[in-house]
Amino acid sequence: MSPFHSLLPRGAVCDLVTPFRGGELDRVGLLTLIEWQIRSGISGLVVCGEAGEAPTLTMDERCSVIQTAVEVAERTVPVFVGCGTNSTESTIALTEQARALGAHAALLTVPYYSKPSQEGIFRHFEAVAAAVDIPLIICNAPARTAVDLTPRTVERLATIGSVVALVDCTGDVSRFAQTAPELRTRLLHYCGHEAAACPFSLCGGGGAFSIAANVTPRLTSALHNALRTGNVDVAYALQERLTPLLTALEAENVVACTKDALSFVLGLSPEVRLPLTPPSLEVQKHLRRAVSTLPERAELMSRTA
């Protein structure tokens, strides 16, 4: 087992959105969001990830986001930083930046768009590991990258000492269920597909990377705490409560929908950057209906009453 395993949380890890206001990074909004997540019991944070609109951030904004997260989370929850690109050189540079700014681990996607071979994928991650001394978490999201990690490549990646975890975004729980026990021991496996989180964890997964947790950190954390303590009926009841929100968030772009829902829950700006656009009015109504029954919405109402 890797010595880095003690750094890895079990439970819900929130893939944070990046708040904007008036075209600029909303650092106050980011502080508010991170502090709320920690108070609500979230187990870890991802910044500059899938939900963070990382490709739209300037380098100064990226530094500010990472520094803010590391400072606010200080020794309470780990902070993982999305560093994946489709260029090995730029991935190394972003990973080194994350290490220098105090990230606990770098989250790397399979290189997208260029559709590298399995050998190319392995060498890409191998090169990053050789260049930067930081734990690496590999994210496999073939629906977004157009390339799927094969089981053999995962086995090879597990031989790299600093590769500590895999985020499986396929939603295919059977893949994980068929993973060899020794590989599960070597790599902590997280679910990256909201609807598959319960069965994935029951098969031995370490938790989930969740975008929905931006909106409902308390409920998402409670669900994973129930799974971790064997309260399966409670976990599935909480999953059922989350289902209307998960459906609404997937109605259009999940990041834009998450920001819109979060504006209703926490009062942050729903602003996104192109090429993303706000959800349609119909979807906004759907989101508000889904959010209205959540405990997080009740918390906001009690604070503002």
Domain boundaries, the chain: 3-232
- Does 68 have pLDDT greater than 50? yes
Cis preceding-peptide flag for 278 (omega within 30 of 0): no
Residue 22 makes CB contacts below 8 A (sequence gap 6+) with 271
Q: What percent of the chain has pLDDT over 70?
A: 95
Fold of the 3-232 domain: TIM Barrel (3.20.20)
Q: What's the confidence (pLDDT) of residue 293?
A: 85
State the CB neighbour count (10 A cutoff) for residue 227.
27
pTM, entire model: 0.94
Q: Do the Cβ atoms of 108 and 99 come closer than 8 Å?
A: no
- The DSSP letter of residue 115 is -
Give the pLDDT mean for 80-85: 98
- The DSSP letter of residue 69 is H
Q: Which amino acid is at 220?
A: T
Q: What's the confidence (pLDDT) of residue 1?
A: 47
Backbone angles phi and psi of 92, in degrees to 5: -60, -45
CA 104 to chain centre: 14
Give the pLDDT mean for 100-108: 98
Kindly report, residue by residue over 200-239, the tens digit of the pLDDT. Answer: 999 999 999 999 999 999 999 999 999 999 999 999 999 9
pLDDT top residue among 6 and 220 = 220
Read off the pLDDT band of 305 (50, 70, 90): very low
Number of H helices, E strands in the chain: 14, 10
Q: Lowest mean pLDDT of 89-93, 129-133, 193-197, 298-302, name the range.
A: 298-302
